[in-house]
Protein backbone atom coordinates (compact mmCIF):
# COMPACT_ATOMS: atom_id res chain seq x y z
CA UNK A 1 0.00 0.00 0.00
CA UNK A 2 1.13 3.50 -0.68
CA UNK A 3 -0.24 7.04 -0.36
CA UNK A 4 0.89 10.09 -2.29
CA UNK A 5 -0.24 13.65 -1.50
CA UNK A 6 0.27 16.73 -3.69
CA UNK A 7 -0.59 19.98 -1.93
CA UNK A 8 -0.46 23.30 -3.82
CA UNK A 9 2.02 25.52 -1.97
CA UNK A 10 -0.59 28.27 -2.29
CA UNK A 11 -2.81 26.19 0.02
CA UNK A 12 -0.09 25.59 2.63
CA UNK A 13 -0.50 27.66 5.76
CA UNK A 14 2.39 26.16 7.74
CA UNK A 15 4.75 23.19 7.84
CA UNK A 16 5.87 22.03 11.26
CA UNK A 17 8.47 19.49 12.29
CA UNK A 18 6.82 18.11 15.41
CA UNK A 19 9.30 16.52 17.80
CA UNK A 20 7.84 13.80 20.04
CA UNK A 21 11.10 11.93 20.88
CA UNK A 22 9.64 8.48 20.15
CA UNK A 23 6.92 8.91 22.76
CA UNK A 24 3.76 9.42 20.71
CA UNK A 25 1.87 7.47 18.08
CA UNK A 26 0.63 8.86 14.79
CA UNK A 27 -2.98 8.97 15.98
CA UNK A 28 -1.95 10.85 19.11
CA UNK A 29 0.03 13.35 17.01
CA UNK A 30 -2.96 13.77 14.72
CA UNK A 31 -5.33 14.39 17.64
CA UNK A 32 -2.97 16.84 19.32
CA UNK A 33 -1.79 18.78 16.28
CA UNK A 34 -4.89 18.92 14.11
CA UNK A 35 -2.55 18.87 11.10
CA UNK A 36 -4.08 18.02 7.73
CA UNK A 37 -1.13 15.94 6.52
CA UNK A 38 1.28 14.02 8.75
CA UNK A 39 4.29 11.97 7.65
CA UNK A 40 7.01 10.35 9.73
CA UNK A 41 10.11 12.58 9.60
CA UNK A 42 13.86 12.02 9.74
CA UNK A 43 15.85 9.13 11.16
CA UNK A 44 17.06 8.88 14.73
CA UNK A 45 19.77 7.01 16.63
CA UNK A 46 19.45 4.12 19.06
CA UNK A 47 19.63 6.60 21.96
CA UNK A 48 16.54 8.38 20.64
CA UNK A 49 18.44 11.45 19.40
CA UNK A 50 17.78 12.72 15.87
CA UNK A 51 20.14 12.07 12.97
CA UNK A 52 21.61 15.04 11.14
CA UNK A 53 20.58 17.32 9.75
CA UNK A 54 17.63 18.66 11.71
CA UNK A 55 16.66 22.19 12.66
CA UNK A 56 13.30 22.93 14.21
CA UNK A 57 11.81 26.38 14.67
CA UNK A 58 15.23 28.07 14.79
CA UNK A 59 16.87 25.45 17.05
CA UNK A 60 19.64 23.24 15.67
CA UNK A 61 18.81 19.75 16.95
CA UNK A 62 21.35 17.78 14.92
CA UNK A 63 24.16 19.59 13.12
CA UNK A 64 27.05 17.99 11.25
CA UNK A 65 30.34 19.11 9.74
CA UNK A 66 29.10 18.36 6.24
CA UNK A 67 26.46 19.94 3.99
CA UNK A 68 23.68 17.92 2.53
CA UNK A 69 20.70 18.82 0.40
CA UNK A 70 17.52 18.92 2.42
CA UNK A 71 14.38 21.02 2.67
CA UNK A 72 14.52 24.37 4.39
CA UNK A 73 11.65 26.74 5.20
CA UNK A 74 10.60 29.48 7.59
CA UNK A 75 6.82 29.26 7.54
CA UNK A 76 6.06 26.53 5.01
CA UNK A 77 4.99 27.85 1.60
CA UNK A 78 8.61 29.05 1.14
CA UNK A 79 9.99 25.48 1.34
CA UNK A 80 12.87 24.71 -1.01
CA UNK A 81 15.59 22.15 -1.57
CA UNK A 82 18.82 23.70 -0.35
CA UNK A 83 22.19 22.79 1.16
CA UNK A 84 21.86 25.75 3.54
CA UNK A 85 20.47 25.51 7.06
CA UNK A 86 19.70 29.22 7.25
CA UNK A 87 15.92 28.85 7.40
CA UNK A 88 14.07 28.30 10.70
CA UNK A 89 13.44 24.67 9.77
CA UNK A 90 15.58 22.15 7.93
CA UNK A 91 15.27 18.40 7.44
CA UNK A 92 17.55 16.14 5.48
CA UNK A 93 18.15 12.45 5.07
CA UNK A 94 18.91 11.00 1.62
CA UNK A 95 18.59 13.28 -1.39
CA UNK A 96 17.08 11.30 -4.29
CA UNK A 97 16.40 14.09 -6.80
CA UNK A 98 18.82 17.02 -6.68
CA UNK A 99 18.67 20.34 -8.57
CA UNK A 100 20.53 18.71 -11.46
CA UNK A 101 18.26 15.66 -11.61
CA UNK A 102 17.96 12.17 -10.10
CA UNK A 103 21.02 11.30 -7.98
CA UNK A 104 23.11 8.47 -9.52
CA UNK A 105 24.16 6.96 -6.23
CA UNK A 106 21.99 8.16 -3.36
CA UNK A 107 23.94 8.24 -0.09
CA UNK A 108 22.64 5.90 2.64
CA UNK A 109 23.72 3.20 5.06
CA UNK A 110 23.13 -0.16 3.43
CA UNK A 111 22.32 -1.84 6.73
CA UNK A 112 20.05 0.83 8.18
CA UNK A 113 18.33 2.05 5.04
CA UNK A 114 19.05 -0.34 2.16
CA UNK A 115 16.98 -3.15 0.72
CA UNK A 116 13.36 -3.27 -0.31
CA UNK A 117 11.30 -1.60 2.39
CA UNK A 118 8.49 0.79 3.11
CA UNK A 119 9.59 4.32 2.23
CA UNK A 120 8.72 7.91 3.07
CA UNK A 121 9.72 10.94 1.04
CA UNK A 122 9.11 14.64 0.72
CA UNK A 123 9.52 16.64 -2.49
CA UNK A 124 8.42 19.49 -4.72
CA UNK A 125 6.75 19.48 -8.12
CA UNK A 126 5.46 22.47 -10.12
CA UNK A 127 4.36 24.60 -7.20
CA UNK A 128 3.18 21.63 -5.11
CA UNK A 129 4.47 20.08 -1.92
CA UNK A 130 4.58 16.30 -2.40
CA UNK A 131 4.52 13.64 0.31
CA UNK A 132 4.98 9.92 -0.24
CA UNK A 133 4.56 6.91 2.02
CA UNK A 134 4.55 3.17 1.31
CA UNK A 135 4.01 0.52 3.97
CA UNK A 136 6.77 -1.82 5.02
CA UNK A 137 6.40 -5.38 3.82
CA UNK A 138 3.84 -4.52 1.14
CA UNK A 139 4.21 -4.92 -2.62
CA UNK A 140 4.84 -1.17 -2.79
CA UNK A 141 8.09 -1.51 -0.82
CA UNK A 142 11.07 -0.16 -2.78
CA UNK A 143 14.84 0.13 -2.73
CA UNK A 144 16.07 3.74 -2.41
CA UNK A 145 16.97 3.63 -6.12
CA UNK A 146 13.54 2.21 -6.99
CA UNK A 147 11.91 5.02 -5.02
CA UNK A 148 14.09 7.59 -6.78
CA UNK A 149 13.00 6.29 -10.20
CA UNK A 150 9.34 6.18 -9.20
CA UNK A 151 9.37 9.77 -7.91
CA UNK A 152 11.23 11.02 -10.99
CA UNK A 153 8.60 9.32 -13.18
CA UNK A 154 5.90 11.10 -11.15
CA UNK A 155 7.49 14.41 -12.17
CA UNK A 156 8.93 15.35 -8.79
CA UNK A 157 11.47 18.12 -9.40
CA UNK A 158 13.30 17.41 -6.15
CA UNK A 159 13.01 14.71 -3.50
CA UNK A 160 14.47 13.63 -0.18
CA UNK A 161 13.92 10.15 1.24
CA UNK A 162 13.06 10.26 4.94
CA UNK A 163 13.14 7.44 7.48
CA UNK A 164 11.65 4.20 6.11
CA UNK A 165 11.07 0.58 7.04
CA UNK A 166 8.86 0.17 10.08
CA UNK A 167 8.80 3.94 10.62
CA UNK A 168 6.84 4.49 7.39
CA UNK A 169 3.44 5.88 8.30
CA UNK A 170 1.24 8.76 7.32
CA UNK A 171 -2.16 10.38 7.54
CA UNK A 172 -2.80 12.42 4.43
CA UNK A 173 -6.10 14.17 5.07
CA UNK A 174 -7.61 10.91 6.33
CA UNK A 175 -5.77 8.57 3.95
CA UNK A 176 -3.59 6.68 6.41
CA UNK A 177 -0.83 4.09 6.51
CA UNK A 178 -0.66 2.93 10.10
CA UNK A 179 2.36 1.59 11.98
CA UNK A 180 2.83 1.20 15.70
CA UNK A 181 6.29 2.74 15.83
CA UNK A 182 6.65 6.02 17.72
CA UNK A 183 9.14 8.10 15.78
CA UNK A 184 11.37 11.00 16.80
CA UNK A 185 9.77 13.66 14.62
CA UNK A 186 6.87 14.19 12.22
CA UNK A 187 6.28 16.46 9.27
CA UNK A 188 2.94 18.17 9.87
CA UNK A 189 1.32 20.24 7.13
CA UNK A 190 -1.50 22.65 7.92
CA UNK A 191 -3.54 23.96 5.00
CA UNK A 192 -5.34 27.27 4.77
CA UNK A 193 -8.94 27.28 5.92
CA UNK A 194 -11.64 29.49 4.51
CA UNK A 195 -10.19 29.95 1.07
CA UNK A 196 -6.81 30.36 -0.43
CA UNK A 197 -5.20 33.78 -0.62
CA UNK A 198 -3.95 34.11 -4.18
CA UNK A 199 -0.32 35.18 -4.41
CA UNK A 200 1.25 37.92 -6.53
CA UNK A 201 1.83 36.68 -10.04
CA UNK A 202 5.44 37.37 -10.76
CA UNK A 203 6.74 35.98 -7.44
CA UNK A 204 5.47 32.51 -7.94
CA UNK A 205 6.41 31.87 -11.54
CA UNK A 206 9.00 29.16 -11.28
CA UNK A 207 10.38 29.09 -14.76
CA UNK A 208 12.30 26.56 -16.78
CA UNK A 209 15.05 27.97 -18.96
CA UNK A 210 17.42 26.50 -21.51
CA UNK A 211 21.04 27.66 -21.65
CA UNK A 212 21.62 29.00 -25.19
CA UNK A 213 25.27 30.17 -25.67
CA UNK A 214 27.53 27.44 -27.12
CA UNK A 215 30.12 28.17 -24.42
CA UNK A 216 27.49 27.77 -21.68
CA UNK A 217 26.98 30.27 -18.88
CA UNK A 218 28.77 31.11 -15.66
CA UNK A 219 27.14 30.60 -12.29
CA UNK A 220 28.02 33.41 -9.87
CA UNK A 221 27.63 34.01 -6.16
CA UNK A 222 25.38 37.01 -6.68
CA UNK A 223 23.34 38.83 -9.35
CA UNK A 224 26.16 40.60 -11.26
CA UNK A 225 29.44 40.03 -13.09
CA UNK A 226 31.28 41.47 -10.06
CA UNK A 227 30.48 38.36 -8.05
CA UNK A 228 32.80 35.31 -8.01
CA UNK A 229 32.18 32.41 -10.35
CA UNK A 230 31.09 29.26 -8.60
CA UNK A 231 30.52 27.03 -11.62
CA UNK A 232 28.83 26.82 -14.98
CA UNK A 233 25.99 25.30 -16.98
CA UNK A 234 26.68 23.88 -20.43
CA UNK A 235 24.63 24.68 -23.53
CA UNK A 236 21.27 22.96 -23.61
CA UNK A 237 20.98 22.52 -19.84
CA UNK A 238 17.44 23.10 -18.64
CA UNK A 239 17.40 24.98 -15.34
CA UNK A 240 14.74 26.23 -12.96
CA UNK A 241 14.95 29.86 -11.89
CA UNK A 242 13.61 30.38 -8.37
CA UNK A 243 13.99 34.14 -8.11
CA UNK A 244 14.85 37.00 -10.46
CA UNK A 245 16.70 40.21 -9.69
CA UNK A 246 18.17 42.92 -11.95
CA UNK A 247 18.18 40.70 -15.03
CA UNK A 248 19.72 37.76 -13.15
CA UNK A 249 18.10 34.53 -12.04
CA UNK A 250 18.89 32.42 -8.99
CA UNK A 251 19.02 28.66 -9.35
CA UNK A 252 19.84 26.15 -6.64
CA UNK A 253 23.53 26.59 -7.52
CA UNK A 254 23.84 30.37 -7.81
CA UNK A 255 23.06 33.28 -10.13
CA UNK A 256 23.05 33.34 -13.94
CA UNK A 257 22.42 36.15 -16.41
CA UNK A 258 18.92 35.75 -17.88
CA UNK A 259 19.80 37.20 -21.28
CA UNK A 260 21.96 34.08 -21.77
CA UNK A 261 18.92 31.87 -21.38
CA UNK A 262 15.83 31.05 -23.37
CA UNK A 263 12.52 30.33 -21.78
CA UNK A 264 11.59 26.68 -22.28
CA UNK A 265 8.03 26.77 -23.43
CA UNK A 266 6.02 23.75 -22.54
CA UNK A 267 2.63 22.34 -23.05
CA UNK A 268 0.58 25.53 -23.31
CA UNK A 269 -0.16 25.29 -27.01
CA UNK A 270 -0.27 28.30 -29.28
CA UNK A 271 -2.55 31.28 -29.66
CA UNK A 272 -5.63 31.65 -31.82
CA UNK A 273 -6.83 34.78 -33.61
CA UNK A 274 -9.93 36.64 -32.40
CA UNK A 275 -10.33 39.43 -34.93
CA UNK A 276 -10.24 42.01 -32.14
CA UNK A 277 -7.65 44.76 -32.70
CA UNK A 278 -6.34 47.88 -30.99
CA UNK A 279 -6.42 51.33 -32.63
CA UNK A 280 -2.81 50.84 -33.77
CA UNK A 281 -3.75 47.59 -35.50
CA UNK A 282 -2.21 45.19 -32.96
CA UNK A 283 -4.24 41.96 -33.13
CA UNK A 284 -5.53 40.44 -29.89
CA UNK A 285 -4.99 36.71 -29.78
CA UNK A 286 -6.27 34.17 -27.29
CA UNK A 287 -4.62 31.53 -25.12
CA UNK A 288 -7.31 31.13 -22.50
CA UNK A 289 -6.80 29.30 -19.23
CA UNK A 290 -9.17 26.32 -19.40
CA UNK A 291 -12.45 26.77 -17.50
CA UNK A 292 -12.37 24.96 -14.17
CA UNK A 293 -8.64 25.45 -13.62
CA UNK A 294 -7.94 26.69 -10.10
CA UNK A 295 -6.26 29.83 -11.42
CA UNK A 296 -9.44 30.73 -13.35
CA UNK A 297 -11.70 31.30 -10.35
CA UNK A 298 -14.64 32.76 -12.24
CA UNK A 299 -16.81 35.35 -10.52
CA UNK A 300 -17.87 38.60 -12.14
CA UNK A 301 -15.25 41.28 -12.64
CA UNK A 302 -16.94 44.69 -13.04
CA UNK A 303 -13.82 45.95 -14.93
CA UNK A 304 -13.59 49.06 -12.76
CA UNK A 305 -9.79 49.29 -12.97
CA UNK A 306 -6.88 48.32 -15.18
CA UNK A 307 -3.73 47.02 -13.46
CA UNK A 308 -0.34 47.30 -15.14
CA UNK A 309 2.39 44.74 -14.40
CA UNK A 310 5.74 43.78 -15.84
CA UNK A 311 6.65 40.12 -16.20
CA UNK A 312 10.05 40.69 -14.58
CA UNK A 313 11.31 37.98 -16.92
CA UNK A 314 14.27 39.18 -19.00
CA UNK A 315 15.08 35.87 -20.69
CA UNK A 316 15.09 35.67 -24.47
CA UNK A 317 11.80 34.27 -25.68
CA UNK A 318 9.86 35.29 -22.56
CA UNK A 319 7.23 36.93 -24.74
CA UNK A 320 3.44 37.09 -24.63
CA UNK A 321 2.92 33.56 -26.01
CA UNK A 322 5.49 32.11 -23.62
CA UNK A 323 3.61 33.65 -20.72
CA UNK A 324 0.38 32.32 -22.20
CA UNK A 325 1.93 28.88 -22.19
CA UNK A 326 2.94 29.35 -18.55
CA UNK A 327 -0.41 30.62 -17.31
CA UNK A 328 -2.25 27.72 -18.98
CA UNK A 329 0.06 25.15 -17.38
CA UNK A 330 0.01 23.11 -14.17
CA UNK A 331 2.53 25.24 -12.35
CA UNK A 332 0.47 28.46 -12.66
CA UNK A 333 -2.63 26.53 -11.60
CA UNK A 334 -0.90 25.05 -8.57
CA UNK A 335 0.33 28.52 -7.55
CA UNK A 336 -3.08 30.13 -8.29
CA UNK A 337 -1.59 32.71 -10.65
CA UNK A 338 -3.41 34.35 -13.54
CA UNK A 339 -3.95 37.65 -15.30
CA UNK A 340 -5.96 38.83 -18.31
CA UNK A 341 -3.45 39.88 -20.99
CA UNK A 342 0.24 39.49 -21.84
CA UNK A 343 1.67 42.12 -24.19
CA UNK A 344 5.00 42.09 -26.01
CA UNK A 345 6.46 44.17 -28.83
CA UNK A 346 4.35 42.58 -31.54
CA UNK A 347 1.39 40.89 -29.97
CA UNK A 348 -1.32 40.91 -27.33
CA UNK A 349 -2.51 37.57 -25.93
CA UNK A 350 -5.57 37.18 -23.71
CA UNK A 351 -5.73 34.48 -20.99
CA UNK A 352 -8.85 35.30 -18.91
CA UNK A 353 -12.04 36.99 -20.22
CA UNK A 354 -12.30 40.64 -19.10
CA UNK A 355 -15.49 39.94 -17.15
CA UNK A 356 -13.89 37.34 -14.86
CA UNK A 357 -11.65 37.72 -11.82
CA UNK A 358 -7.99 36.74 -11.99
CA UNK A 359 -5.18 36.36 -9.46
CA UNK A 360 -2.44 38.90 -10.14
CA UNK A 361 -2.63 41.80 -7.71
CA UNK A 362 -1.62 40.27 -4.36
CA UNK A 363 -4.54 41.88 -2.52
CA UNK A 364 -6.55 38.77 -1.64
CA UNK A 365 -9.25 36.82 -3.45
CA UNK A 366 -11.73 39.68 -3.18
CA UNK A 367 -9.43 42.72 -3.19
CA UNK A 368 -10.17 45.37 -5.80
CA UNK A 369 -6.98 44.50 -7.69
CA UNK A 370 -7.91 40.84 -8.21
CA UNK A 371 -11.68 41.13 -8.25
CA UNK A 372 -12.36 44.45 -10.01
CA UNK A 373 -9.47 45.05 -12.37
CA UNK A 374 -8.15 43.79 -15.68
CA UNK A 375 -4.53 42.67 -15.24
CA UNK A 376 -2.02 43.37 -18.01
CA UNK A 377 1.52 41.94 -17.94
CA UNK A 378 3.97 43.84 -20.14
CA UNK A 379 6.85 41.61 -21.28
CA UNK A 380 10.43 42.73 -20.59
CA UNK A 381 12.23 39.94 -22.47
CA UNK A 382 15.79 40.87 -23.55
CA UNK A 383 15.07 40.01 -27.20
CA UNK A 384 12.01 42.28 -27.28
CA UNK A 385 11.62 46.04 -27.71
CA UNK A 386 10.25 47.32 -24.40
CA UNK A 387 9.24 50.75 -25.78
CA UNK A 388 7.10 49.03 -28.40
CA UNK A 389 5.67 46.66 -25.81
CA UNK A 390 4.62 49.66 -23.71
CA UNK A 391 3.07 51.33 -26.77
CA UNK A 392 1.15 48.11 -27.51
CA UNK A 393 0.02 47.87 -23.88
CA UNK A 394 -1.16 51.50 -24.02
CA UNK A 395 -3.15 50.73 -27.18
CA UNK A 396 -4.80 47.82 -25.32
CA UNK A 397 -5.55 50.09 -22.35
CA UNK A 398 -7.21 52.58 -24.72
CA UNK A 399 -9.38 49.79 -26.13
CA UNK A 400 -10.37 48.52 -22.67
CA UNK A 401 -11.12 52.07 -21.43
CA UNK A 402 -13.48 52.45 -24.37
CA UNK A 403 -15.11 49.01 -24.09
CA UNK A 404 -15.70 49.20 -20.32
CA UNK A 405 -15.90 52.98 -19.78
CA UNK A 406 -12.89 53.01 -17.48
CA UNK A 407 -11.57 56.49 -16.62
CA UNK A 408 -7.83 57.17 -16.89
CA UNK A 409 -7.73 57.76 -13.12
CA UNK A 410 -8.46 54.03 -12.71
CA UNK A 411 -5.31 52.89 -14.50
CA UNK A 412 -3.31 51.46 -11.60
CA UNK A 413 0.09 49.95 -10.96
CA UNK A 414 0.30 46.53 -9.31
CA UNK A 415 2.15 48.53 -6.61
CA UNK A 416 -1.05 50.42 -5.79
CA UNK A 417 -2.76 47.22 -4.61
CA UNK A 418 -0.08 45.39 -2.65
CA UNK A 419 2.99 47.61 -2.44
CA UNK A 420 4.97 45.31 -4.71
CA UNK A 421 7.64 46.99 -6.86
CA UNK A 422 5.78 46.32 -10.12
CA UNK A 423 5.83 47.42 -12.95
CA UNK A 424 9.47 47.62 -12.00
CA UNK A 425 11.24 49.11 -15.06
CA UNK A 426 8.61 51.79 -15.49
CA UNK A 427 8.65 52.62 -11.77
CA UNK A 428 12.45 52.90 -11.79
CA UNK A 429 12.61 55.17 -14.87
CA UNK A 430 12.00 58.83 -14.16
CA UNK A 431 8.87 60.10 -15.89
CA UNK A 432 8.08 56.71 -17.48
CA UNK A 433 4.75 56.14 -15.69
CA UNK A 434 3.44 59.60 -16.63
CA UNK A 435 4.57 59.02 -20.19
CA UNK A 436 2.78 55.66 -20.23
CA UNK A 437 -0.41 57.29 -18.89
CA UNK A 438 -0.15 59.95 -21.60
CA UNK A 439 0.04 57.17 -24.19
CA UNK A 440 -3.03 55.53 -22.63
CA UNK A 441 -4.89 58.83 -22.86
CA UNK A 442 -3.94 59.05 -26.52
CA UNK A 443 -1.76 62.08 -25.90
CA UNK A 444 1.32 62.27 -28.01
CA UNK A 445 4.38 63.30 -26.06
CA UNK A 446 6.37 63.69 -29.25
CA UNK A 447 7.52 67.21 -30.24
CA UNK A 448 5.58 68.45 -33.31
CA UNK A 449 8.83 69.09 -35.19
CA UNK A 450 9.74 65.40 -34.94
CA UNK A 451 6.27 64.40 -36.17
CA UNK A 452 6.64 66.76 -39.13
CA UNK A 453 10.09 65.40 -39.99
CA UNK A 454 8.91 61.82 -39.79
CA UNK A 455 6.09 62.73 -42.20
CA UNK A 456 8.69 64.13 -44.62
CA UNK A 457 10.71 60.90 -44.47
CA UNK A 458 7.56 58.81 -44.84
CA UNK A 459 6.49 60.91 -47.84
CA UNK A 460 9.84 60.20 -49.48
CA UNK A 461 9.44 56.46 -48.79
CA UNK A 462 12.42 56.37 -46.43
CA UNK A 463 10.49 55.14 -43.41
CA UNK A 464 7.75 52.54 -43.67
CA UNK A 465 6.26 52.71 -40.17
CA UNK A 466 5.88 56.39 -39.25
CA UNK A 467 3.94 55.66 -36.02
CA UNK A 468 6.97 53.89 -34.61
CA UNK A 469 9.27 56.86 -35.34
CA UNK A 470 6.65 59.34 -34.14
CA UNK A 471 6.59 57.61 -30.76
CA UNK A 472 9.85 59.44 -30.34
CA UNK A 473 11.97 57.34 -27.99
CA UNK A 474 13.26 53.89 -27.31
CA UNK A 475 14.25 53.26 -30.94
CA UNK A 476 15.90 49.88 -31.31
CA UNK A 477 19.50 49.83 -32.55
CA UNK A 478 18.48 47.62 -35.45
CA UNK A 479 15.82 50.03 -36.62
CA UNK A 480 18.20 53.00 -36.44
CA UNK A 481 20.71 51.06 -38.57
CA UNK A 482 17.96 50.31 -41.11
CA UNK A 483 17.00 53.99 -41.17
CA UNK A 484 20.61 55.02 -41.86
CA UNK A 485 20.83 52.54 -44.77
CA UNK A 486 17.49 53.75 -46.16
CA UNK A 487 18.60 57.40 -46.00
CA UNK A 488 21.95 56.63 -47.67
CA UNK A 489 20.18 54.62 -50.38
CA UNK A 490 17.79 57.53 -50.96
CA UNK A 491 20.69 59.99 -51.37
CA UNK A 492 22.55 57.62 -53.72
CA UNK A 493 19.47 57.22 -55.92
CA UNK A 494 18.83 60.94 -56.05
CA UNK A 495 22.45 61.44 -57.05
CA UNK A 496 22.88 64.11 -54.41
ZN1 LIG B 1 2.86 42.70 -11.03
State the CATH number of the domain containing residue 335.
Answer: 3.40.80.10
Residues 465 and 320 in one domain: no
Please give the distance, rounded to the nearest whole angstrom, from the Cα atom of residue 468 to the centre of ligand 1: 26
Residue 257 lies in a domain: yes
Specify the range with the lowest mean pLDDT, choosing from 24-38, 100-114, 286-300, 444-458.
Answer: 444-458
Please give the distance, rounded to the nearest whole angstrom, from the Cα atom of residue 311 to the centre of ligand 1: 7
Please give the distance, rounded to the nearest whole angstrom, from the Cα atom of residue 426 to the centre of ligand 1: 12
Please give the distance, rounded to the nearest whole angstrom, from the Cα atom of residue 428 to the centre of ligand 1: 14
Residues 479 and 339 in one domain: no
**Is pLDDT of 384 > 80?**
yes
Please give the distance, rounded to the nearest whole angstrom, from the Cα atom of residue 308 to the centre of ligand 1: 7
Please give the distance, rounded to the nearest whole angstrom, from the Cα atom of residue 123 to the centre of ligand 1: 28
Please give the distance, rounded to the nearest whole angstrom, from the Cα atom of residue 140 to the centre of ligand 1: 45
Please give the distance, rounded to the nearest whole angstrom, from the Cα atom of residue 194 to the centre of ligand 1: 25
pTM above 0.75, yes or no: no
Please give the distance, rounded to the nearest whole angstrom, from the Cα atom of residue 486 to the centre of ligand 1: 40
Asked if residues 151 and 25 have their Cβ atoms less than 8 Å apart, the reply is no
H, E, C per residue of 148-179: HHHHHHCCCCEEEECCCHHHCCEEECCEEECC
Residue 173 lies in a domain: yes
- Say how many C-beta atoms besides its own lie within 10 A of residue 242's C-beta: 15
Mean pLDDT of 105-117: 93
Give 473's pLDDT tier (boundaries 50, 70, 90): low
Q: Which long-range contacts (CB under 8 A, 24 or more apart) does 60-67 make?
A: 60/85, 61/19
Give 146's pLDDT tier (boundaries 50, 70, 90): very high
Please give the distance, rounded to the nearest whole angstrom, from the Cα atom of residue 251 to the centre of ligand 1: 21
CA distance 296 to 290: 7
Specify the range with the lowest mean pLDDT, choosing from 148-157, 322-331, 428-437.
Answer: 322-331
Residues 120 and 18 in one domain: yes
Please give the distance, rounded to the nearest whole angstrom, from the Cα atom of residue 139 to the centre of ligand 1: 48
- The count of domains in the chain is 4
Asked if residues 170 and 213 have their Cβ atoms less than 8 Å apart, the reply is no
Residues 17 and 153 in one domain: yes
**Is pLDDT of 46 > 60?**
yes
* Per-residue model confidence (pLDDT) at position 364: 86
Residues 256 and 391 in one domain: no
Which of 263, 284, 308 delimits the end of a domain? Answer: 263
Give 406's pLDDT tier (boundaries 50, 70, 90): very high
Which is more confidently placed, 179 or 330? 179
Residues 45 and 134 in one domain: yes
Domain of residue 319 covers 272-440
Asked if residues 468 and 387 have their Cβ atoms less than 8 Å apart, the reply is no
* Per-residue model confidence (pLDDT) at position 236: 83
* Per-residue model confidence (pLDDT) at position 132: 97
Residues 428 and 474 in one domain: no
* Per-residue model confidence (pLDDT) at position 238: 82
Please give the distance, rounded to the nearest whole angstrom, from the Cα atom of residue 427 to the centre of ligand 1: 12
CA 298, 6, 128 angle in degrees (round to 5)?
70
* Per-residue model confidence (pLDDT) at position 253: 87
Which of 228, 263, 298 delimits the end of a domain? Answer: 263
For the chain, the average pLDDT equals 89
Residue 196 lies in a domain: no
**Is pLDDT of 129 > 80?**
yes
pLDDT tens for each residue of 360-377 = 998 888 899 999 999 999
Residues 376 and 416 in one domain: yes
**Is pLDDT of 87 > 70?**
yes
Residues 96 and 169 in one domain: yes
Please give the distance, rounded to the nearest whole angstrom, from the Cα atom of residue 294 to the centre of ligand 1: 19
* Per-residue model confidence (pLDDT) at position 195: 53
Please give the distance, rounded to the nearest whole angstrom, from the Cα atom of residue 417 to the centre of ligand 1: 10
Residues 238 and 336 in one domain: no
* Per-residue model confidence (pLDDT) at position 162: 96
Residues 311 and 417 in one domain: yes
Residues 19 and 84 in one domain: yes
Which of 263, 281, 309 delimits the end of a domain? Answer: 263
Give 332's pLDDT tier (boundaries 50, 70, 90): confident
pLDDT tens for each residue of 276-328 = 999 988 999 999 999 999 899 999 999 999 999 999 888 888 899 989 988 99
Please give the distance, rounded to the nearest whole angstrom, from the Cα atom of residue 204 to the centre of ligand 1: 11
Amino acid sequence: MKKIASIPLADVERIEIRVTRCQKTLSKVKAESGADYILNGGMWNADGGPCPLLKVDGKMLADADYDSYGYGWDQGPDIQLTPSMKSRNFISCTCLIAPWGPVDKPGYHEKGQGGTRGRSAIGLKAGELCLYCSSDGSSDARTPEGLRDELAALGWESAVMLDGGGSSQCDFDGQAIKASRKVHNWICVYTKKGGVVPPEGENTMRKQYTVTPSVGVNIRKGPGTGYDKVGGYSKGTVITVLEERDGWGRTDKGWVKLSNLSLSTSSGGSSTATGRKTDTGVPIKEMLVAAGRKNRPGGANPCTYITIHETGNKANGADAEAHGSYVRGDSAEASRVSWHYSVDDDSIVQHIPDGEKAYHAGDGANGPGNAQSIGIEVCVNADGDFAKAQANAASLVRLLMKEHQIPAANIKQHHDWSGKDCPQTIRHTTGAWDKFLDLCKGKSTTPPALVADVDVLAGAGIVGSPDYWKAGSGYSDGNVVCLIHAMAEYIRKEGN
